[in-house]
């Protein structure tokens, strides 16, 4: 199995599949997650091939763009990896990472559980792209894509949500910071992830303070 050739083929496949994707979940998002995955993996005892494939394929069919269908991404990833003659154990591991990487699935207290060091690395890499300057840009890009209100002081963030409530939420974009993004720092798995997340978290807090001051009218 030529791992380098498979990774190159995966990159080309993902670029093609996500050519017209929403800006926060496009190839550039995948590329950033892949780079963060490689960076974090350097200090972790993980299978570099598994984390690389999972990073590249983790958003191949994000359920939020497929009427909430969580089966499409794993199916596409499985079929592609089979076409590359990747071994079944590796496929199973990659697909399990895809199934369990999302924040919304961490809210599910009833579903099947899966853990691995590889999942921890890719999950951290993905969550890093949801916070900091890029995270802010992605948050508002998606809010605009869904035509959501920027902010409404009358609609308070809902801090305790089930998976289904989270999926159905159409709250103002600013609420998403309090309902998810500001919570990610304390949910990082790796030393490297925690270090980078702390800096990006601080940046978001500065941004939100400035946002609120401008909303209220600068003194």
Residues whose CB falls within 8 Å of the CB of residue 6, separated by 6 or more in sequence, listed in order: 53, 84, 86
Per-residue pLDDT tens for 8-44?
Answer: 999 999 999 999 888 889 999 999 999 999 999 999 9
Query: Pick from 22, 15, 37: which is nearest to 123 by CA?
Result: 37
Domain that holds residue 118: 3-216
Does the pLDDT at position 157 exceed 80?
yes
State how far the Cα of 13 lies from the Cα of 72, in Å rounded to an integer: 16
pTM of the model: 0.92
Q: Alpha-carbon torsion 7, 12, 17, 19, what sign?
A: positive
Single out the residue of 36, 14, 40 nearest to residue 25, CA to CA. Answer: 14
- Angle (CA) 165-167-173 rounded to 5° is 95
Average pLDDT, the chain: 92
What pLDDT band is residue 60 in, cutting at 50, 70 and 90? very high
- The reported pLDDT for the residue numbered 142 is 93
pLDDT, residue 121, reads 98
Within 48-131, residue ranges assigned H as helices are 48-57, 72-83, 88-100, 103-106, 117-128
Question: Tokens standing for 169?
Answer: 């939420």
pLDDT above 90 for 88: yes
pLDDT value, residue 108:
66
- Give the whole-angstrom CA distance, residue 91 versus residue 72: 15
Number of domains in the chain: 1
> Token match 């990833």: residue?
77
CATH of the domain at 204: 1.10.3210.50
CA angle 85, 41, 116 (to 5 degrees): 70
Tell me the C-alpha distance between 18 and 33, whole Å: 14
Query: Could you read off the pLDDT of 104-116 as tens digits, one per residue?
Result: 767 666 667 899 9
Checking if the pLDDT of 61 tops 90, the result is no
pLDDT at 182 over 90: yes
pLDDT of residue 219: 59
CA distances from 171 to 75, 143, 168 (A): 31, 9, 9
């Amino acid at each position: 199995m030529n791992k380098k050739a498979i990774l190159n083929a995966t990159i080309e496949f993902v670029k093609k599949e996500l050519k017209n994707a929403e800006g926060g979940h496009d190839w550039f998002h995948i590329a950033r997650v892949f780079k963060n995955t490689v960076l974090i993996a350097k200090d972790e005892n993980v299978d570099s091939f598994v984390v690389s494939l999972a990073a590249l394929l983790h958003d191949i069919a994000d359920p939020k763009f497929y009427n909430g269908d969580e089966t499409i991404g794993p199916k596409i990833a499985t079929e592609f990896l089979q076409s590359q003659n990747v071994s079944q154990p590796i496929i199973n591991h990659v697909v399990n990472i895809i199934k369990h990487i999302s924040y919304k699935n961490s809210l599910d207290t009833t579903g099947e559980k899966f853990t691995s060091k590889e999942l921890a690395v890719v999950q951290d890499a993905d969550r890093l792209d949801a916070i900091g300057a890029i995270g802010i840009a992605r948050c508002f890009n998606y809010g605009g894509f869904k035509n959501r209100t920027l902010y409404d002081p009358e609609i308070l963030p809902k801090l305790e949500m089930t998976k289904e409530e989270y999926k159905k939420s159409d709250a103002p974009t600013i609420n998403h910071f309090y309902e998810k993004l500001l919570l990610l720092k304390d949910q990082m798995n790796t030393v490297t992830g925690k270090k980078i997340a702390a800096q990006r978290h601080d940046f978001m807090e500065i941004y939100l303070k400035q946002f609120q001051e401008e909303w209220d009218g600068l003194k």
